[in-house]
Amino acid sequence: MPTDILPASQVAELVTGLVKALRAYHMYLPNNPVYQRASDNLRVAFQPIYAVLGELVLTVAETDFVWEDQVVYHQPNKNESVAWGLFKDGMRSLTIRQGAEIEELPRFLETINRARFLPTDAGDDLLTLLWEQEFEFIQYEFMEFLGDTGGVPEQTGAYGAGAGSEDAARIRRAAAEEEAPPRAKGLIDLDDFDATLYFLDEREINQVAASVAEEYTRDVRHASLDALFDLFELQGESAVRSEILGILEALFPNFLNAHDFRTAAAVLRESRELAQRTPGLEPEHAARLDGFVAKLSEPAIVSQLIQSIDEAPALAGEATVAEVLRELRATALAPILTWIPMLGSPTLKQLLEEVADRLAEAHPAEVLRILRSPDSEALAAVATLCGRLQLVQTVPGLGETVTHRDPAVRLASVHALAQLATPAALGWVDKALEDPDRAVRLAAVRVVGGRGYKGAQRRVEGVVLGRSVAGMDLTEKMAFFEAYGAIAGTSGLKPLSALLLPRGLLRMKESSDTRACAAIALGKIRTAEARAVLQSAADDKDLVVRNAVSRALREGTG
C-alpha cells in the first residue's frame, strides 16, 4: 500500500502548497517574487512524493481531495474550496506525474484560475480550457453529461477526452449543482456574486489601489536604469559590463537633449558611485564611467546645455538641473564664464556663478590655462574671477592679460591685480600706467596711488612733470597728480610747489588746471612744509586754484 511508505500528511502538505500557489498565481504576475517563490515551493514539495511514487492520483469530491481513501484536503466552505470549484465543473480525478512540476503545473493552476472567473455566458469551461493546454504529465477525468442521452453521465478518459461543446459544459454545470446539497431557504450563496479568492477590508483596498496607481505612474526609465546599474555591479563579466556601458553612453546624450535632467543626474550620480564601490572594476570600465562627466564637461556640450536651460527659464530652478551642473569639471569653466554675462535667467546666472567659483578655486591650473589663451572669450570674466576669489597663484597669468590686445581684458586684469595687491601684482599694474587706453591708465594710476606703491613713482612722476599731462582731461590729470602726491611724499614737495606758485622774474604760471592739480597733490603729502605752501596760495586770484587749495587744506587736516 502507498500509505505504508508515504504518510498521508505528506500529501496533505503538498495539496496545501497547491492551494497556496493557486492563490499566488491569481494575485501576481510570473515575474513577481511571490509567484516565483510559490513555484519553487511546489517543486520542493513534490520531491518527497516522487521519491516514493511515480505519480500522485487525487480523487475530487465535493469539498475534499482524497488520496488512497484518505482525505488530504477538506474545506467545507464551498466559496473557498478549491475542490468544490473543480467538482462542480465535472472533474472527478486528477493525476500528476513526475515532471509536471517543472513547467505544466503552473499552467494547470493558471487554467483553473481562468475557469473560476469565466462569465456565466462564456462558451468555454474548465474542461475545454484544459484541452487547449495539451498536458503531457497531467491527466484528469471528467463526468460528462451528453445532451442526447437524457443526461446519462459518462466517464471521460485520460486528458479529459470527450464532448466539450457549449451545451455539454452547461449540462455539466447544471448536474454539478443538482449533486450539491439543497440550499436552505433565505440563505445567500456567495457564488451568485463576483467574489475573489478572499475579501479585502477598506484599508487593504486602499493599499491595493495605491499600489496600482504607483505602478501606473512609476518612471519606467529610472527602473530600467536601476536594473542596468544593478547588473553592472553584480555581474563581473567584462563583456556584460561593456555592453551596459555602451547602452548608457548611447542614452546619456538623449537625456540631455530631451531636458530630462533628473535622469541625467541619476546617471552621473550612479556612475560616480559605481566607480567607487564596484569590486574588481577594470581600468577601462572605470575610465568609461568617468567619461560621462568628462563628456558633459566638454566646452561645446556645456554651451549647448546652458543655452537650452536659459531658453526654458522654468528649468533653471529645478534641483536636478543644479545637480547636473554641479557635476561639471574644470574644462567647463571657460564656457560657463563666457555665458554668464549673456544669461537672461537670474536663477541660472547665480547657479553658474557658484559653479564657476567652485571650479576656479579647485582648479587654478585651468584658470592659468585660460589666462594664457589669448583667443578665449572668457578672459575678462576669468580675470575678474581671479581678483574676487583672491587667486594669488594666477598673478603670472594676469601679467600676460594686462597687455592683451583687448582693452576690456586689460582693464579687468588691472582691477584683479589691484585686488590681489601683491608686490608682483602691483608691478604689473605699474606697467599699465602707459597703456594706450585712457580707462586702463586711469584704473592703474588710482590703484598705485591708493596703495602708495613706491615702485610706480618713476612712471607717475614722468607723466606729472612731463609733456604728456597736457593732453589729458582733467579727471585723468587729477588722478596722476593725486597718485604722485601720495607716492612721492616729501620728495615731491619742491616740484609741486614750482607748479603751484609763480616762477621767475616774469612770474610765469602754469594753466589753472595744472596748478589746481598740484594743490591737490600737495594736500596728499600732509606735512607742515606742504601746508605752508598751500597757505601761501590761499589768496590766489584764480578761483579754480583757490578752491583746490581750500580743498587740499581741509583734507590735509582731516
Residue by residue, DSSP assigns 181-227 as PPPPTTPPPGGGS---SS---HHHHHHHHHHHHHHHHS-HHHHHHHH
Alpha carbon 313 to its chain's center: 18
> What digits encode the pLDDT tens for the residues 85-119?
898 888 999 999 988 888 888 889 989 988 887 77
281-320 pLDDT, tens digit per residue, is 999 999 999 998 888 899 999 998 898 888 887 777 788 8
Give the residues across from 64 on adjacent strands: 74
Report whether 275 contacts 283 (CB < 8 A): no
Rounded Cα–Cα distance for residues 268 and 292 (Å): 7
d(Cα 248, Cα 493) in Å, to the nearest integer? Answer: 75
Whether residue 36 is predicted with pLDDT greater than 90 in this model: the reply is no
| Per-domain boundaries in the chain | 2-192, 363-451, 455-558
The better pLDDT of the pair 404, 197 is held by: 404
* DSSP state string for 14-81: HHHHHHHHHHHHHHS-TTSHHHHHHHHHHHHHHHHHHTT-SEEEEEE-SSEEEETTEEEEE---TTT-
Q: Which three cell numbers stand for residue 195?
A: 467574489
Radius of gyration of the chain (CA): 47
Stretch 144-159: mean pLDDT, rounded? 47
pLDDT tens profile 224-254 = 888 888 888 888 889 999 999 999 988 888 8
Q: Is the pLDDT of residue 163 over 50?
A: no
Residue corresponding to grid cell 536636478: 320
Evaluate if residue 480 carries a pLDDT over 60. yes
Looking at residue 182, what is its pLDDT?
61
Reported confidence tier of residue 426, pLDDT bands at 50, 70, 90? very high
- Contact partners, residue 10, CB within 8 Å, separation at least 6: 48, 49
Average pLDDT, the chain: 85
What is the pLDDT at residue 176?
Answer: 54
Q: What number does CATH give the domain 455-558?
A: 1.25.10.10
Spell out where 75-163 has E strands: 91-97, 138-145, 153-155
In angstroms, the first-to-last Cα distance of the chain is 123
Residue 10: burial class (beta carbons within 10 Å; 0-12, 13-18, 19+): middle
Range from 22-36, 259-273, 384-398 that averages highest in pLDDT: 384-398
Phi then psi for residue 547, to 5 deg, are -65, -40
Predicted confidence (pLDDT) per residue in 437-463, tens digit: 999 999 999 999 999 999 999 999 999
Please name the amino acid found at residue 179. Answer: E
Domain 363-451, second-level architecture: Alpha Horseshoe (1.25)
Tens digits of residue pLDDT in 56-81: 999 999 889 999 889 999 888 887 88
* CB neighbour list of residue 291: distance below 8 Å, 6 or more residues apart: 249
pLDDT given for residue 2 in this prediction: 72
Q: Indicate whether 83 pLDDT > 80.
A: yes
Which region, left, alpha or beta, applies to residue 30 given φ > 0 means left and ψ of -120 to 50 means alpha? alpha
Look up cell 597687455; give the residue: 403
Residues 364-381 have a mean pLDDT of 95
Contact 398, 416 (CB under 8 A): yes
From CA 219, how far away is CA 529, in angstroms rounded? 83
Question: Rounded to an integer, what is the distance from CA 490 to the centroid of its chain?
Answer: 65
Asked if pLDDT for residue 217 goes beyond 80, the answer is: no
Average of per-residue pLDDT across 169-193: 56
Nearest Cα neighbor of 380 from 344, 404, 355, 349 is: 404
- Reference 553, options 512, 521, 523; nearest CA is 523
198, pLDDT greater than 70: no
- 418-to-268, 336, 372, 406, 456 alpha-carbon distances in Å: 40, 24, 19, 19, 13
Q: Kindly write down the DSSP assignment for every residue of 439-451, as one continuous string.
A: HHHHHHHHHHHHT
Q: Is the pLDDT of residue 144 over 70?
A: no
C-beta of residue 147 within 8 angstroms of C-beta of residue 114: no
Are the beta carbons of 437 and 411 closer than 8 angstroms? yes
Pull the grid cell for residue 417.
591685480
Confidence (pLDDT) at 284? 94
Residue showing cell 481531495: 65
Assess contact for 508 and 502: CB atoms under 8 A. yes
